[in-house]
Structure formats: structure tokens, C-alpha cells
Amino acid sequence: MQYAKLGRSGLMVSRICLGTMNFGAITSEKESLKIMNRALELGINFFDTANVYGGKKGEGITEKIIGKWLEENRKRRDKIVLATKVYGEMGKGVNEKYLSAYHIKKACEDSLKRLKTDHIDLYQMHHIHRDTPWDEIWQAMEQLIREGKIIYVGSSNFAGWDIATANEEAIRRKLLGLISEQSKYNLFNRKIEHEMIPACNYYGVGIIPWGPLDGGLLGGVIKNLGEGRRNTDEIINKLKNNREQIEKWENFCDDFGEDPASTALAWLLSQPGITSPIIGPRTLQQLETSQRALDINFNEESLSKLDAIFPPAGQSPQYYAW
């Protein structure tokens, strides 16, 4: 396994992050426990979850599965960097969602109970909530840090200017600020190259891409259509509208001598500012297969070919102005 610092922090995380969104919703508890065991054996120390994962509102099923795994062997807790999220709706109450100090405090304490741990290593805002002032958000996070309930703060699905605003407000309060951002990023969707990546690089925020295969579109969808999640209406429609591009992609992978899923993941690992793409294995086999990406390297010619198939988004303002 390879490791890297998470953003400007001194925290070392595996270059592949284990995403647990499928645990309890698609993947059974038994299989989920096996996947976590194997991930740890492979050297993956970065585990990502969220309080809303698991398929049933307010129950935190995925966090409970991870909590059960940690409770089975207490030594595991010190071997992983545990990340979860706050923002999503956890009940019917008007304050059971978003980023008020009220909700952040309760959501954190509820996650701690489900995860069977006394602290969260990386507490992430699952989405921006611009109706809540940063003074309130940072006050809540600072209190949790002071109490030892969280160590680092991260974000997810922010805009570039949200990264800037959040960190400038943190600087004003003499806080470390955001050390990571989870954004959707893959060859098929390179929009964060406009402003998000430059903002994160400037502030030393590590980027944790989610959706590296764009729901399976980059995972060999033409050859394997009908398997797993590749037969969903969304994927079928995306393939229909972008078939020529995907055919070029899969032909590239054939010539390159690597399977599409591993190649797509390896491309992310080669991009500047990227710390750990999130994989969301539904099975043990998918977890095992993902490791191949760590050994794939691209030369300039290969990267140019990929840029021709999936054009870079271009950095703002140059991509739309002079």
C-alpha cells in the first residue's frame, strides 16, 4: 500500500480510501465485515462513512456496522483513520439536518455512539449550507475538537469559493481549518478542475474523489453491460448518449493492457492534489481488484490520449476568458 499526507496536515492515509456507502444498503453486514478485515490486511487505513448511509433514514446503519467491527477487536481502532459526515437529514425534526451548531453537536455524539468510539479522526461536512454562518460552524467544530470528539475537519461537495471562505474564516479564528474535500471527480466528469482543484491546492486541502468510475460508466460498461449496477437506467442512458466516447475509452484500455476500472482509478491517483480516491466495493472481489491501480503508471503519450478522449475542464478564468 502507498500512503500520503492528507492535505497540509501531518496525517498519513492510504492512497485508496475504503468507502462504505454500500454497507447495510446493498452489501450485507457479513460481507461488509469481511471487506473491512481484508482492507486492513491490504494496508488500507482510511475508512470513510456518513451518518446517512445504510438505506434507512435516521438509523445510521452503516456506522453501526463499522461500530460492530471495531467492537469485535479494539486494536483495529488505532490502525485506521476513521472519517464520517454531518449534514444529512437524520429525522423529522427541523433541526435534525444541515450545519447548525445544534445539529453538529448532536450528530457527532450520535455518530460516536454508533461507531463505538470516543473520537472521529476526520469529521466532514457532507454538503455546504450557506444559510448557516461560518462563525457558528467553526464554533461548533472548535468545541468538538476541544472536547476530544473530533481531530480534523473536512468538507464534501463544496464549491471552490466555499473552500476559500471556510479556510479564511478558520484562519481568522486561528484554527487549522479544512484539511480535505470530497468531490465527484473522474475522467468523465472533470468539472472540479475549473476552480475546486486550484482552490484546494492553494489552501493545502487534500482532495478525496468520490465516484471514480462514474457509477460504473468507466468500469468496462460496454463489455459488461447487465452486470451489477451497470444495467441501471442511468448508466444505460449515459452510455446511449456517450457511446462513442466510452468505446474510445475501452479501446484505449485494451491497447494499454489494463482493465478500465483499474485504469480509471490509476488516472485519478496520477492527478496533482489528489490524496485518496474513494472506492465503494460491494464485494470482496471488487476490493481486491482495486489494488491494481496502485501499480499503473502513465507516460505523457498515454495521458495525452486520455485528454483527447476526455478533454480537461480547464482552469478558471482561462477556460472561458482570455
Indicate the SS3 state at residue 123. strand
Strands (E), 34-165: 46-48, 81-86, 120-125, 150-156
Question: Measuring CA to CA, which residue among 106, 126, 125 is closest to residue 114?
Answer: 106
Catalytic residue among 3, 53, 319, 320: 53
Q: Is residue 239 part of a domain?
A: no
Cell of 12: 498519513
* Per-residue pLDDT, 224: 76
Which H helix or E strand runs over 305?
A: helix 300-309
Give mean pLDDT in consecutive 10-residue pieces for the chain, a chain of 322 residues.
Answer: 97 98 95 97 98 93 98 96 97 96 98 98 97 98 98 98 98 97 96 96 98 92 68 79 93 96 97 95 92 96 97 92 86
The CATH number of whichever domain residue 33 belongs to comes to 3.20.20.100
Cell of 52: 446517512
* Per-residue pLDDT, 222: 87
Cell of 259: 482493465
Question: Measuring CA to CA, which residue among 197, 175, 221, 215 is closest to residue 274?
Answer: 197
Q: Is residue 103 part of a domain?
A: yes
Q: Is residue 169 part of a domain?
A: yes
Task: For residue 80, report the phi and psi dihedrals to the nearest 5 degrees.
Answer: -125, 155
Q: Is residue 198 part of a domain?
A: yes
User: Please, what is the end-to-end C-alpha distance for the chain in angstroms?
Assistant: 43
Q: Is residue 257 part of a domain?
A: no
Question: Measuring CA to CA, which residue among 108, 116, 18, 29 is closest to residue 65?
Answer: 29
Q: Is residue 118 part of a domain?
A: yes
The domain in which residue 108 lies consists of: 3-215+262-304
Indicate the SS3 state at residue 21. coil
* Per-residue pLDDT, 230: 54
The verdict on whether omega for the bond into residue 272 sits within 30 degrees of 0, i.e. cis, is no
Question: Would the pTM count as exceeding 0.75?
Answer: yes
Structural domains counted in the chain: 1
- 201 secondary structure, DSSP code: H
Q: Is residue 108 part of a domain?
A: yes
CA atoms 273, 187, 260, 17: torsion sign:
positive
* Per-residue pLDDT, 228: 58
| Whether the Cβ atoms of residue 269 and residue 15 lie closer than 8 Å to each other | yes
Asked if 185 is an active-site residue, the reply is no
